[in-house]
Structure 1
Amino acid sequence: MTDRLAELSAAGVAVWLDDLSRVRLSSGGLDQMRREQHLVGVTTNPTIFAKALADADAYDAQVRELAAQGVTVEEAVRLMTGYDVRWACDVMRPAYDASGGVDGRISIEVDPRKAHQTEKTIAEAKTLWWLVDRPNLFIKIPATKAGLPAITATLAAGISVNVTLIFSLERYRAVMDAFMSGLEQAKENGHDLTKIGSVASFFVSRVDTEVDKRLDKIGSDEAKALKGKAAIANAQLAYEAYTEAFATDRWQALADAGAHPQRPLWASTSTKNPDFPDTIYVEQLIAPGTVNTMPESVITAYADHGETKGDTVTTAYDAARQAMSDLAAVGVDMADVVQVLEDEGVEKFESSWVELLEDVDKSLKAAAQGAGNPSDAAAK
């Protein structure tokens, strides 16, 4: 049988899972994927944790302990998610060691309500790094305007960073600049650059969702013919920007000091439109030195019928530029598209975080009431 995920890995794409839960950890499912499906990393976000913590049984014992300690709901959420991420770091440690610290990384995100607050983001990044206490951790920081200096400051403190919610080429270039500034400061601060890692999470399918909605509204044949073109073209041009940024003398000086490049990570790679092939955002974004973080359903689909045809990015720059030109010609304002997507992304994660806090608050209160009920104690 063809090992399609092995072929994808050999083409330079690191296979990461965009999901985490305590059930996946306790069942051994994550470790099995590492051993059998070439999995070398994991990403999380507030929505993933909101879904995971909805499984009350998996977290029941820890909730009772936290309720007995009287911790706040914010503390409880960080301790619960931190526990899972620390466990996942240990599961993926073999991949971290085998790759010299490049892969085997697990991400945990700062409170998305702080996405537009630089100093609070920096403070929480440092707290999460201390809490999880694993070298193969990534702190996820949104690529908002306020997030850029937070990215630099966090890296300068020797903390590895996953920059998330990148949609535009302009913002991506600013992210790479923030990354290099952070490493330059980390070097000045005496940190070992070989230990600091980073990825830049460039979102894909959400671009098509927003652009295609606009193309349908425009309604012309020319517009409809462009559906499904924007996301891949945008990401391919992002990779071109990556190759340019990391071919500079500035980067070479950091590389000479032992730094690893900040790899492009393709996020949001499940298809939202059922008319599209389920592996399109993997097959069309194959390039050396990239990461593709996928839901398990996409990993399974690629293992079953994905096609690795070599580099599908660097050969497509001209076609990608033409697609962007055609989109502009029919009236799609990409600057507006990416701003809407960034705002929606932050809002969505904020909403998931609030939902997570509310659910954990209810569980803590229920556990505290149960522990304080004499009849319950007598029944035991």
Structure 2
Amino acid sequence: MKAIVVGSGAGGGIIAKELAKAGISVTVIEKGPSTITKNAYKHYDILNVGTEVSSTVCLGGTTLVTAGNAVRTCEESFKKLGINLSSEFEEIEEELHINTLPDSHFGEGTQKIMDAARSLGLEIQKMPKFIYPDLCKPCGKCAFGCPRDAKWTSIKFIEEAEEYGAKIVENTPVTDIIISDRKVKGVKSEDNIFEADIVILSAGAIQTPRLLQKIGIDAGNNLFVDTFVTVGGMLKNIKYNKEVSMNTLIKLDDIVLAPHFSEILVNKLKKYNARKKDVLGLMIKIKDEPSGKVTQDDVIKFNTAEDIALLARGTAIAGAILTETGVIPETLVSTYARGAHPGGTAAIGDVVDTNLQTEIEGLYVADASVLPEAPGAPPVVTILALSKRLAKHIINK
């Protein structure tokens, strides 16, 4: 049996590894090039579609520029669909050595936020991470690509897949899916044809639905992005820009808050002569409504009244916390709205079944496209768990 995996991010990497380990012939086709991790920021692909949405086009995908956050998301929603991911979550958490970081990796800025939140009666917890503390020297560069390879990325699974015989094809955008008699036969990249018995699309919530649309599947609806803003202000010489980002988490209804540095805030604070080391910030991330759409030519995503209300509530709470830390209240500013985790465009129960298969036999989806609702938090671990479950299904089948 031959399998093609389109994309090498969280979903694609683990599927390729698991299938190759089981002796299945696997080819991973990646649109972007390979890169050293510390240069991953050079491969950002930013779409301004009303809400700015970012992804990374390179081998390993967006896993290279995550903050290493490893929370379970959508677990109860999946159970309602008849999908129990408990064992897969446990397997992933063990394999990636997911844990909170030791106190040595919490800087002054993060600690001030933790103390301030507690003094305001808010429950705050340490963020579980797939960061290896013995390799991590806090530098604030998680979202650019770790210069010390101190966090898990999908590259590790891609390398394991290669050791088991998988073939990796880089710089090759898949342009179409080949089907015959409602069965998948392979994929095309311009004039190049790759034949296969099984195709797993892991190209992300923008490109995956576009490929499905080309073969007549009604995908691309109900796009969500986990909309977020970062609010911050001046606290001189706090040096939060050199800390591990998002090392703690405050959970509210459909909102999460986490310490976060953004250079946008520094630019907005120029009149105060702010330097990077003088800014302390909090990210406000919401479970946004699925108000977006992906077509062949456009991506549309706007914030609904409910989204704006959630952002306003989170911003008010963030302002109170930051003021409690000692941030000068009149310096508080916010970034524009951005999207962190696009998904929902090939959702379970809509475009794929509970085994992540489309109406085309042998054609599966294993990325954030299949999520039934906005996670409101980083979905990497959830995508890994879903994809591991799919790999088991394919191997058993």
Asked if Structure 1 and Structure 2 have the same fold, meaning a TM-score greater than 0.5 normalized by the shorter chain, the answer is: no
Report 1 or 2 for greater relative contact order, CA contacts < 8 Å, sequence distance ≥ 6. Answer: 2
The answer to which structure has the higher helix fraction is: 1
**TM range, smaller chain:** under 0.3
TM-score (norm 1): 0.27
TM-score (norm 2): 0.26
The answer to which structure has the higher strand fraction is: 2
